[in-house]
């Protein structure tokens, strides 16, 4: 389907997502509050390690997502 309708190749399309996942982005005020407010609930999920202990200004980095997207691309 992508071959017939896609106008951007997958590697180019995922380039910025891979960079964002590998380099991360700063945790903002709203995300910081949500992490603090729902910390107890987050611990029941395997991906909670991504958010554990993050405060405003920290960088949220997802190396596993970056690797997966790089493999796909």
Whether 18 and 71 have beta carbons less than 8 Å apart is answered as no
Q: What per-residue confidence (pLDDT) applies to 49?
A: 86
- Residue 69, exposed/middle/buried by CB under 10 A (0-12, 13-18, 19+)? buried
**How are beta strands 25-26 and 59-60 bridged, if at all?**
antiparallel
Q: What per-residue confidence (pLDDT) applies to 8?
A: 86
DSSP state of 1: -
Low-confidence residues of the chain: pLDDT under 70: 1-3
Q: What per-residue confidence (pLDDT) applies to 25?
A: 96
CA 49 to chain centre: 12
Beta bridge partners of 26: 59
């Amino acid at each position: 389907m992508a071959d017939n309708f896609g106008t951007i190749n997958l590697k180019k399309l995922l380039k910025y997502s891979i960079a964002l996942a590998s380099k991360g982005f700063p945790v903002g005020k709203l995300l910081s509050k949500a992490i603090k407010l729902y910390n107890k609930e987050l611990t029941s999920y395997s991906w909670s390690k991504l958010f554990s202990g993050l405060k405003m200004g920290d960088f949220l980095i997802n190396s596993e997502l970056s690797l997966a997207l790089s493999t796909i691309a």
